[in-house]
Chain A
């Protein structure tokens, strides 16, 4: 059953997109900024995972947690250093800054550690089992379960905790939230921390699943995740999850129908179509512009 196999391939790819897309969408939701440096946080997460496994000899899950913590701090630093002072600047200024930060991280990384790709160690057993003729590897299951777990935790944080409530309030109305005594700066930082931690986790998973990591690895998945976020409706958390999975599956099926060279094009055609016909995305509400 080829299509079941392809569906598994697509969901694995899609859950990585979804994890990255969550960070995009959360940051956009709260400060209306497309954080183009997000793909590079993903890359940094991958390398932290790599060095904690190869250098420190940690096991996969410890490396995953370490990469998430490191990326959370890294994300907050980016926000505090680069974006905070631009909070009242024009949105285009913040956007250009984000692109600048992205280039800085990429080239800084190349400068420090060199441009050579590294091979992520194969520390999860290469087992697989067959369901209905499809060969499903342990890794695919692991990726999917880690992604789902993280998404459940995220939903819990956003809906059941105080900081989640603050995040929702700030994203709804920044000024009103401040008047209600919410510390807006800390809330924004927390959003960056959570989004970046998810990207870090995606980086480690990506390394495990695709083996090759390099300093420019964040660019394409970053852009794809952005498309996924827009597809689901930017600023909407369930939208990013669904958008990521849908995009992964669509890409895989474009590939599977023999148009392997059109795969990247398909993602951007989707972006264009969504922007033309449903700019608010799958989950977006048609809100009228306030006067």
Chain B
């Protein structure tokens, strides 16, 4: 099924690409007069994951408007040059080539998914142009398979294993538990990454993992494994996975009398989660997320208010990350004192405790951000802001 949808999308993207190709060459912006800073945006504005890309784009637009209204960066306005990669890797690559060769942008923001970002990484390295993905979580974006750093690739969101670390710290420090069980999807890298990081941090902090179990995606009966977990009597169960199974796991766990706190990552975040698990079962469960629009922190509330005024809707996590990416870039350009890409890259690498909507951010040696994560708690089927956890 997915394959077929993929084909249809690929075919329509190809066709749309032919049409769009006629338009873009004439739309070349020739303002080379040096009083604007050009930033390329290469996002999924249409296609399969358009909701991610458009969310980011709204955040980016808002941030640029704010910066330009406040006088730009060192007196220069930001000029956004947008490319729609149509949720397709090849389109993302050709978009990156256009932005670097033709528009000579100072930096590229995008793409939303790891795959479409990886499709641009080679171009960014070749042309020595900074590439920042707001939401791509795969390790390979910044460090390739051989373990070599992609010099010009950065990201604004935290990497997957970080959520596991945050969850372990939260369990030990805030909930005060000593023993935990881990029950994760055995086939997804996402869940395995979260689970491994949780176990490592939890044990390092003196906690004890009393049971480690895994399930197969698409399964519906988790009762027997949950019974095993129950008899190990953990004080906390960590369940990294996606909502389709986690919803059922939470429900069945509660039915079997596992009343301890349950926790997972952003894979839990879906309205369907509440339908599957039921609002009651979800009480006393926690989720790690990049951001919450209920966070009372003024930097977040200002963003939420400005966003609502412009877009007439509440911002999602993607919008917040898009917004932050622009400010991250602005900060680096200011510190570099230049739009020279190599200098921007060096400045980005030096980013330290820079306050952003999705938490104060530092860039580590692998170009991954170290930042705080937000803990959300389900209360009667609603996700409520619980607390903010700083790394370490």
Residues of A within 8 A of B (CB): 2, 5-6, 9-10, 12-13, 110, 115-119, 122, 126, 128, 135, 137, 139, 210-212, 217, 220, 251-253, 255-256, 258, 260-261, 264
Contacts and interface: CB of A to CB of B under 8 A. Distances in A.
Interface string B205-221: 00000000111101011
A19 to B, nearest CB: 15
Contact of B225 (A126, A211, A255): A255
Nearest to B231: A2
20 contacts: A2-B228, A5-B227, A5-B230, A5-B256, A9-B221, A9-B227, A117-B276, A119-B247, A119-B272, A119-B275, A135-B256, A139-B255, A211-B276, A251-B224, A256-B224, A256-B225, A256-B228, A260-B214, A260-B224, A264-B216
Contact of B1 (A6, A9, A110, A118): A110
- 8 closest Cβ contacts across the A-B interface? A119-B275, A255-B224, A210-B220, A9-B223, A252-B224, A2-B231, A135-B257, A260-B225
A118 B247 CA distance: 12
A261 B251 contact: no
Is the contact region of chain A dominated by helix, strand, or loop, or is it mixed? helix
Contacts of B255: 126, 128, 135, 137, 139
A261 B216 contact: yes
A128 B244 contact: no
Interface of B: 1, 186, 213-216, 218, 220-221, 223-225, 227-228, 230-231, 244, 247-248, 251, 255-257, 272, 275-276, 278, 280
A256 B247 CA distance: 21
Contacts of A258: 213, 228
Contacts of B227: 2, 5-6, 9, 256
A35 B164 CA distance: 46
A204 to B, nearest CB: 15
B228 A212 contact: no
Nearest to B220: A210
Contact of A117 (B214, B216, B225, B272): B272
Contacts of A217: 220
A211 B214 contact: no
A212 B224 contact: no
B275 A260 contact: no
A261 B276 contact: no
Given A128-B257, A135-B256, 18 more contacts: A2-B228, A5-B256, A9-B221, A13-B223, A117-B244, A117-B272, A119-B247, A119-B276, A126-B280, A135-B255, A139-B255, A251-B224, A252-B223, A255-B224, A255-B228, A256-B228, A260-B214, A261-B186
A13 B221 contact: yes
A212 B220 contact: yes
Nearest to B281: A126
A137 B227 CA distance: 13
Nearest to B213: A260
Contacts of B186: 261
A116 B176 CA distance: 38
A226 to B, nearest CB: 18
A128 B223 CA distance: 15
Contacts of B223: 9, 12-13, 252
B43 to A, nearest CB: 25
Contacts of B280: 126
A217 B248 CA distance: 14
Contacts of A253: 224
A119 to B, nearest CB: 4
B272 A6 contact: no
A210 B227 CA distance: 16
A122 B275 CA distance: 9
Contacts of A6: 224, 227
A110 B256 CA distance: 33
Contacts of B215: 260
A217 B219 CA distance: 10
Contacts of B218: 220
A189 B163 CA distance: 57
Contacts of A139: 255
A174 B230 CA distance: 54
Contacts of A261: 186, 214, 216
Contacts of A13: 221, 223
Instruction: Pick the most buried of B224, B257, B275: most chain A CB atoms within 10 A of its CB.
Output: B224
Contact of B276 (A110, A212, A220, A264): A212
Contacts of A9: 221, 223-224, 227
A101 B15 CA distance: 35
A12 B244 CA distance: 22
A137 B231 CA distance: 17
Contacts of B216: 261, 264
A211 B257 contact: no
Contacts of B214: 260-261
A122 B254 CA distance: 14
Contacts of A126: 255, 280
